[in-house]
Amino acid sequence: MSKVITRFAPSPTGHLHIGGLRTALFSYLHAKSKNGKFCLRIEDTDMARNSQEATKAIIEAFDWVGLQYDGEVIYQSQRFDIYKKYIQQLLDENKAYYCYMSKEELDSLRKEQEAKKQTPRYDNRYRDFQGTPPSNISPVVRIKAPLNGIIEFEDGVKGKMVFQASEVDDFIIARSDGSPTYNFVVAIDDALMGITDVIRGDDHLSNTPKQIVVYNALGFKIPKFYHVPMILGPDGTKLSKRHGAMGVMEYKDAGYLPQAILNFLVRLGWSYQNEEIFDLKDMLEKFDANDLNSSPSSYNQEKFLWLNQHYIKQTPNEELEILLKDFGIHHFQKDTRDVLFNEIKNRSQTLLEFSNQIKAIFEAPKEFDSKMFAKCDLQTKEILKDFLCFIESHNLDSLKTIQETLYSFTENKNIKIGTLMQNLRLALLGKPGGIGIAETLFVLEKQESANRIKKLIDSIH
């Protein structure tokens, strides 16, 4: 059995979106689960729309999520000599021809076809042209598509696909400036790169018969195709930014982990029993392209966030600390870090949320929650004053000591632990919710905690 070789071939006209990354992931898993090769090709023949920044962002995205491609990145813009050679070969073999159709001729043909309610298409008028070429027209090159019969292939997702040859016209393979067209270069590159299996979105399905025409004309082996349904938004329409979808590197900036993105994407179109959690190792062991879904999947933001929180919880604190540097969080003492991170892991779905919660804890409250403050009275003031005196004579250098101190104080003063905690929460954090009070006292340390408690005491009249 020949080695499986797949590819991902984005156009650098914009940043890599998650639909593209999902295609890349499926292609990667299909090859790597069979000890094959996964290649990256940048389809940058459209010089007017290409962006160096987009190309860089695509490579960055691959590095970030950890999808390793084999060999060097292939750039189509560096392969024009190869395409020209094959264009000339087809011309020499009478499998392609120069078409001298003028704009006026094209407009006239379209009007005529529209009047007859026909699908606008080229009518092959220059297919066997023997006359003198018009001097004022820079010709395009068209391939000779079959005039009858069928074009068929077995799709790994959709099953047997059959197209009438008459549906494919003599399409352009080289523009009037000599530059090659998409379907032509894709077929050539896939053949020359030895691509055995092509996994792509089913928006490319209509391109496949044209590419098969090119394969056949050049005597190339046709790869196995898998056309995967598009990702839909929750409302059933094509996924877009209004559904919350972003470019891959925007997810990094928003605090998503690469493991969560890959896990989320692999489940949009593939499943294995009832499992939801898959790291890359699991995917490589269990993925089978024959199990790709034939119906579209819906983007579920809640599930995405749930997965992201799962991976945040799974990440060791020392690794989290490194990741959080990008969000303005700097080094902590190990004991402080572990207490703080273990509390926030259960309360954060993204690293951005994680970092914001840390910043909120270390920034002293500028004001107090009005509902909580309204319940403060002179008794509250006395409790807090007594608590300040109590902690002055106690050590707060471990979480266990602090927890014991809190309970010891409430027993001595014969007050409910909940009452003390509520008052301390207002003093230390200024609002309801957040991490535990013992943990807050530990990470803020005695002096900062005392300063915040004094501020609340001074505010109660």
Q: How far is CA 209 from CA 146, 157, 174, 442, in A?
A: 11, 16, 18, 67
241 marked among binding-site residues? yes
Could you tell me if 226 and 34 are in contact, meaning their C-beta atoms sit under 8 angstroms apart? no
Question: Distance between CA atoms of 132 and 98, rounded to whole angstroms?
Answer: 12
Axis crossing angle, helix 437-459 with helix 399-413, rounded to the nearest 10: 50
> DSSP characters for 82-141?
HHHHHHHHHHHTTSEEEE---HHHHHHHHHHHHHTTPPP----TTTT--SPPPTT---EE
Alpha carbon 2 to its chain centroid, in Å, reads 31
| Distant-in-sequence contacts of 404-412, Cβ < 8 A, 24+ apart | 406/437, 406/438
DSSP 3-state percent helix, strand, coil across the chain (nearest 5): 50, 10, 35
Helix axes 52-65, 18-32, angle to 10 degrees: 50
Sheet strand arrangement including 140-143: 96-99, 140-143, 172-174
Decide: helix, strand or coil at residue 245. coil
E-assigned strand segments in 175-215: 197-201
- Residues making up the annotated binding site are 241
Residue ranges of the binding site for ATP:
241
